[in-house]
Each structure stands twice: as structure tokens, then as C-alpha cells.
Structure 1
Amino acid sequence: MKKIYGLLGRNISYSFSKGYFSEKFNRENSNCEYSNFDLTEIEELKQVINNSNIRGLNVTIPYKEAVIPYLDNLDPIAKKIGAVNVIKIEKDQSLTGYNSDYYGFIESLKPLLSKTIKKALILGTGGASKAIGYALQKLGISYTFVSRNPEFNEMGYNDLNEDIIRSHKLIINCTPLGTHPNIDDYPDIPYEHLTENHVLYDLIYNPDQTTFMKKGQKQGARTSNGLQMLILQAEKAWEIWNT
């Protein structure tokens, strides 16, 4: 019997994971397949896990937080982050939630860092942004969330003036703004205050050059998309499923 792995999300036909793992399984001649589980509601997870051949799942927008109540166990790091992007189906069919996003982000960000980067702005407050916050904490970089509807300790986009942009040398886009097919969209920040000392990191990987990144490059900033992070978190997920 084939081992089945898959992705939980909504409107995920564009998914990186399916292509990545299908290619990996073909290359390695492994008796595995990867499916997209496009759920209208998270409750549908119960039907998915009824299949005893399923060994592991990735989780994407909008279920990284919503999936937690459906799990039997949480890895301590996933618990701290408050978001899950990997589910391991244990031998007794119980579900354990993990987070490999933070690992993928840390390892892909390291080559871009310099000693001048001490503060970061995280654009967006969803499940992915929580993993980014945890990763920055591990790297000793202080951060502030920027939200359209700011809560306590968060900034609104209108708060982003020259001083704030200049003092926060790392800006991470965790919003879906700019994702294919809406490639002309971008987060509304004052790009004119960016410098060559800034790093703009976009979690989006399709297109590989987002408008957010292009606007940063115009100001001399270093930029990265989320592809390397995705590859690293996918490999970490594979490791989790197989240990």
C-alpha cells in the first residue's frame, strides 16, 4: 500500500508542496504519493484522517491555527508559536502538531543578516507571522507586528513613518498581498525610506519577484522570496514524519 502525505488548506491548487513532494517521491522511487486536501472548513479534517494510509500532513492558510483543537498532541515549539504547519500521524493514529516554518525561515534568513539588523517589522498577524516572530526571537532580533487592525503592542500601516522604517532594517511580508495572480498588489509601507541597509523578505514564492521586493530593490535593499524557506520547511517536515 502506498503511504499518503498531503496538504491541508483552502484554494490550494497553486501549492508548492504537492509539486515538491511528488517530484521527490518520483526521484527516490519511494512508494509514496502526495495529495492536496482542499477543505472548505477545518471540520473536514476528520474525513481526511479516516484513511489509514495517511502518514503525514502539511498545513497552510487558513488552517495553521484553526487545526490545533483537532490535534491530540502539540510539540513544545508549535505550542509556543501557536501555529502548526506539520501534522504527524503516530502509529496509534493520534495526531501531533509541529512547526517547521520557523526553521525554514531562520536558515534561509541567516545569509542575509548583518550586524546592523537589530529590529524587524512583521507585516501581517496570521499563523505564518507567529512562526516568524518565534524565529526572530531565537535570532535575538526584536520585532513588531504591523496589522490593518492593530491590537495592543501592534502598529497600523499609518504608523509607519521615516523613523520607524529607518530603525527597522528587516521587513518581512507575511500577508498574501502580491501572490499570483494578483501580482500588482503589495503591502502599503513607505518604501521611499528604505536604504541599502534594509532587507525585505517576502514569504510569497509565486511570483519569484513580488512588487514588494521590486520596490525594495529600487531603494537598494536586499530582498528574498520565500522559496528557500519552503524547501527547508518541507525537508524538515519529511524528517518529522519519518522519525
Structure 2
Amino acid sequence: MRKFGLIGHPLTHSFSKKYFEEKFEKEGIEGCSYELFDIPNAFDLEEILSEDPEIEGINVTIPHKEDVIALMDDLEEACEEIGAVNCIHIQDGIRTGYNTDYIGFKNSLSPWLGGIKPKALILGTGGASKAIKQALIDLDIDFLNVSRSEDEDQITYGDLASDPEIMKTHHLIINTTPLGTFPNEEGIPAIPLDQFSAAHFVYDLVYNPPVTTLMKACLDKGGKAKNGLEMLMLQAEASWEIWNS
């Protein structure tokens, strides 16, 4: 039996197990299993792998994408630059970290934007935001990081409220936070929703529910919105390729 899985906390929102189980059945892939490991601490991965050394691949989701780096024996070069791991390949006891979030986001963003490159606001500064940042750099899209706390490399949500020019000149809003994820669907980043316009695009990495509160706020003003399901599917397929390389 080939074994794979996902670590994160919480995992009530995750579609990964269903996605891979359907993939195995649809493509006639036999002798494979995919399990969810809801762990509050990234270092609990050590116990999981100790108890089941047959595991070949692990996906990593919020909030462990940065902390899990300390448990790797090696990192893919691009993953080193990003500073976050969301895919682990285990071969002959060697753990190698990759970042397929980058692949999934980059390959889903460009077609959706239709060739334009609006300035972006990245909401959140966690592990997922690092892959998004690198993808925007490689796509030559200017961006600002937005967080609850002030720092020299980021602005705050308060800055968005006090300076309407920021939203007027940054039309691509990317939510990398878990706010709005099932079962807490009413959650939303603290951005001024009244400043949305028909020129705005919201790319919400949340995919459950399919239309988040943030997405709806943009759609109600005539803008466009996209959830993270396509990104999930693309990064999952990239993970499968890595595990079978």
C-alpha cells in the first residue's frame, strides 16, 4: 500500500482526501491511500512518520508551511527562495520539501486575468503568502503585503481604510488568510469593502465555501472573483508528479 496524506490544523475545510480518493478511483490507481492528520504542531509530523514509515508523500496546509521546513533534509531550490513548504516527498528516509502552491497559483492566475497585470494587495503574511509573492514577482506584477501589524515591508488594514488611493490603484486582491473558511464562513479580512469597484479582482485562496464573503463583496460591486479550488487541483497534481518522480 502506497501512503500519502495532509497535515494541518484544523482540517475540517479540506477537500484533499476526497480529491485524491476520487483521483485514484477515476484513474484506476490501485494500492494507494490518502489520510488527514490534524496536528496542532508541525513537529508532530515526526510521530506520524515514526508510527508509519511507509508514508511517501505529505501535503502541508495552514499553519505549518513555515515551521515544517525545520524537519526537512533537503529543499527544492525554488522552495528555499519562497521560504515555505506545502509538499514533502519521502524517499529512502530522506525528506525533501517543495512548494506546489506557487505552481498552482501562478498557472491559474494569468489565464483568469486575461493578460492584464493589475497591481495587487496580498492579504496575510503566512506561509501561503510567500508562494503568492514569488509568483507575482515572476509574473512581473507589482504588489503590497497587508497585515494586521506594521512592518517596513508591509502596510496594515488600517492603512487601507485611511488611504482610499491604495484600493483605487491596486485592483487585484489576494486573500491568503484562512478567514472565511468553513465553518466560519462569515469571517473576512478587515479591508474597506465599500471601496470595491467593477475594476477589482478578488482571488481568494479559500475554496470552501465556493463563494466567500470577501468574493461576494467584490461581485456585488461588479468586480470579478475566483476561489482557490483550481489552485488546489493544480498544486495537488504537481504534488502527485513529485511523489512519482
Name the TM tier (shorter chain): over 0.9
Q: Distance in 2 between matches of 1:163 and 1:14?
A: 35
Q: Distance in 1 between matches of 2:73 and 2:153?
A: 32
Q: Distance in 2 between matches of 1:184 and 1:111?
A: 29
SS in 1 for 2:214: helix
- Alignment-derived partner of residue 12 in structure 2: 13
Q: Distance in 2 between matches of 1:101 and 1:179?
A: 18
Q: 1:213 offset after TM fit, Å?
A: 0.4
Q: 1:194 offset after TM fit, Å?
A: 2.1
Residues 209-228 of structure 1: pairs in structure 2 closer than 5 A:
209-228=211-230
Q: 1:186 aligns with which of 171, 185, 188?
A: 188
Amino acid paired to 1:179: T
Q: 2:199 aligns with which of 162, 184, 197?
A: 197
| Aligned partners of 1:116 and 1:197 also within 8 Å | no
Q: Distance in 2 between matches of 1:76 and 1:116?
A: 29
1:99 aligns with 2:91: no
- Alignment-derived partner of residue 42 in structure 1: 42
Amino acid paired to 2:183: P
- Alignment-derived partner of residue 87 in structure 1: 88
- Alignment-derived partner of residue 174 in structure 2: 172
Amino acid paired to 2:18: G
Q: 1:217 offset after TM fit, Å?
A: 0.6
- Report runs of 4+ in structure 1 exceeding 6 Å deviation: none
Once the two structures are superposed, residues 114-146 of structure 1 have per-residue CA deviations (whole angstroms, 9 ceiling, x without a partner) of: 555331100000000110001111110011110
SS in 2 for 1:49: helix
TM-score (norm 1): 0.95
Q: Distance in 2 between matches of 1:58 and 1:148?
A: 27
Q: 1:107 offset after TM fit, Å?
A: 1.3
Bigger drift between 199-208 and 7-16 goes to: 7-16
Q: Distance in 1 between matches of 2:169 and 2:215?
A: 19
| Aligned partners of 2:196 and 2:217 also within 8 Å | no
Residues 104-119 of structure 1: pairs in structure 2 closer than 5 A:
104-114=104-114, 116-119=116-119
Q: Distance in 2 between matches of 1:55 and 1:197?
A: 45
- Alignment-derived partner of residue 133 in structure 1: 133
Q: 2:231 aligns with which of 218, 229, 232?
A: 229
Q: CA RMSD in A?
A: 1.3
Report the count of equivalent residues: 241
Q: Distance in 1 between matches of 2:206 and 2:33?
A: 25
How many percent identity over aligned positions? 48
Bigger drift between 213-222 and 113-122 goes to: 113-122
Q: Distance in 1 between matches of 2:151 and 2:215?
A: 27
- Alignment-derived partner of residue 146 in structure 1: 146
Q: Distance in 2 between matches of 1:118 and 1:182?
A: 30
Q: Distance in 1 between matches of 2:168 and 2:115?
A: 15
Q: 1:29 offset after TM fit, Å?
A: 3.5
Q: Distance in 1 between matches of 2:54 and 2:221?
A: 51
Q: Which runs of 5+ in 1 are unaligned?
A: none
